[in-house]
Amino acid sequence: MPQKSYGLLEGKKGIIFGPLDETSLGWQIALSAHREGAKLAISNIGVALRVGKPAELAKIVGDAPLIQCDVSRSPEIDICFKEATEKLGGKLDFVVHSVGMSQNIRKGLAYEESNYDWFLKTLDVSGLSLHRLIHGALATDSLNDGASILGLSYIAAQRSFTTYSDMADAKALLESVARSFGARLGPRKIRVNTVSQSPTFTRAGSGIEDFDKMYEFSDMLAPLGNATAEECGDYVITLLSDLTRKVTMQNLFHDGGYSAMGMTIPMLHLMHDALADEDNMRKAGFTDELIQRNRHE
Ligand SMILES: NC(=O)c1ccc[n+]([C@@H]2O[C@H](COP(=O)([O-])OP(=O)(O)OC[C@H]3O[C@@H](n4cnc5c(N)ncnc54)[C@H](O)[C@@H]3O)[C@@H](O)[C@H]2O)c1
């Protein structure tokens, strides 16, 4: 059932970086923001504007200006903010960073074998770019006091998820930039937060090795199940609204409770049964030492 509008963003203007297609978190955030009354600008990198569907989204959300911008290029960012404020007719009340990319993951390189040029690109595009965006927004005087800035993160910033590779380091950087800028923007009542979302089947998400298994695991463990992209859109709206005006420098988990869980009885039983079969364990990649340790003699 479609959500009703609470008018939470009535009178607000904002820009969303990173919607590609309907699966994108940025896409769903844009739909929710539009429903709540915001006036939007949509941005993505050139190739995404050509091969993805941001233009379609821009139409759906009230003929929003569509602005090409590579978030790893500061001069483009400055131009982007100038264009956004000009076309929206005033300064912005929110900025959403929904951007991520790792060539090391795309090319299937193990973390231990990371290509360092790609690693630096991952950190730049997926983490440092939040710094670049905030810097650009301030330099071009594009933000209203009380604005909300939000980035999308993942729990691999705090805990090890081996297949998340260099994106884990990029997310740690992203969350740290949010804290560092949050502290500095307090006098202007500008908030900076990140939302740590459940695994979600998007273009970026699905590129991760064994993503379907990560998805299943957290879905089974989380008391509320994985949060969907649509639910992410709804949650993010609260953080862009005035109702959360004293929330800043936080990384907020939107994951059905997964991050606070240890184990459930059914999962424990399932694991116990699976571990009874040594061939199964070998197939799953357990070392001989672990198999040995698991023997209860
Ligand atoms: N999908 C998940 O499981 C999941 C979970 C937690 C957090 N996130 C985060 O959510 C955010 C959005 O990703 P998504 O899952 O919706 O995937 P997505 O592929 O739909 O969106 C990623 C976007 O980043 C854009 N992008 C890449 N390089 C860029 C650049 N240099 N400049 C501007 N834009 C660029 C892409 O064009 C794409 O639109 C990312 O930060 C991602 O890490 C995703």
* Nearest alpha carbon, ligand 1 atom 17: 204
Tens of pLDDT, residue by residue over 254-287, are 999 999 999 999 999 998 998 899 998 999 899 9
Answer whether 233 contacts ligand 1 (Cβ < 6 A).
no
Domain ranges of the chain: 13-261, 263-297
Q: Could you tell me which of 194, 189, 175, 182 has the C-alpha nearest to residue 93? A: 189
Q: How far is the CA of 6 from the centre of ligand 1 (A)?
A: 27
Q: Which atom of ligand 1 is nearest to the CA of 71?
A: 32
Contacts of 19 (CB under 8 A, 6+ apart): 26, 27, 29, 30, 42, 44, 52, 54, 57, 98
- The region, left, alpha or beta by phi > 0 then psi within -120 to 50, assigned to residue 70 is beta
CA gyration radius for the chain?
20
Is the Cβ atom of 128 under 6 angstroms away from ligand 1? Answer: no
Q: Is the CB of 67 under 6 A from ligand 1?
A: no
Ligand 1 lined by 24 (C-beta under 6 Å): yes
Scored b (16 or more CB within 10 A) or e, 237-267 reads bbbbbeebeeebbbbbbbbbebbeeeeeeee
Enumerate residues 6+ apart whose C-beta is below 8 A from 265.
none
Does the pTM surpass 0.85? The reply is yes
Q: How far are the Cα atoms of 78, 167, 260 from residue 171, in angstroms, in the given order?
A: 23, 6, 19
The two three-digit tokens of residue 2, written as one number = 């479609």
pLDDT of residue 127 exceeding 80, the answer is yes
Angle among Cα 154, 158, 162 to the nearest 5 degrees reads 75
What 2-8 contacts at long range (C-beta under 8 Å, 24+ apart), as own/partner pairs, is 3/32, 3/35, 3/234, 5/35, 5/36, 5/37, 6/36, 7/36, 7/37, 8/36, 8/37, 8/237, 8/238, 8/240, 8/241, 8/242, 8/243
Instruction: Report the alpha-carbon distance of residue 97 to residue 58 in Å, rounded.
Output: 17
Which tens digit of pLDDT belongs to each residue from 142-187?
A: 999 999 999 999 999 999 998 999 999 999 999 999 999 999 999 9
Q: Give the distance (Å) from ligand 1 centre to CA of residue 152.
A: 8
Name which residue sits closest to atom 44 of ligand 1, judged by CA.
Answer: 205
- Whether 212 shows a pLDDT value over 60: the answer reads yes
Ligand 1 atom nearest the C-alpha of 70 is 32
Question: What's the 183 CA to ligand 1 centre distance in angstroms?
Answer: 25
Q: Across-strand partners of 44?
A: 68
The average pLDDT across 24-34 equals: 98
Output the six-digit token pair for 33.
Answer: 């923001």
Q: Which of 114, 119, 110 is CA-nearest to residue 163?
A: 110
* Closest alpha carbon to 227 in 249, 253, 252, 198: 198
Residue 214 confidence (pLDDT): 93
Q: Residue type for 99, please?
A: V
Q: Determine if ligand 1 sits within 6 Å of the CB of residue 215.
A: no
Asked if residue 154 has its Cβ within 6 Å of ligand 1, the reply is: yes
**Atom 12, ligand 1: residue with shortest CA distance:** 98
Give me the CATH code for the 13-261 domain, please. Answer: 3.40.50.720
Token couple for 29: 């955030």
**131-133-136-141 Cα dihedral, nearest 10 degrees:** -110
The pLDDT of residue 1 is above 70:
no
Active site (catalytic) residues: 154, 164
Q: Say if ligand 1 is within 6 A of residue 170 CB.
A: no
Mutation pick for ligand 1 pocket among 15, 45, 153 (CB with most ligand atoms within 8 Å): 45
Ligand 1: does its nearest atom lie under 6 Å from the Cβ of 99? yes
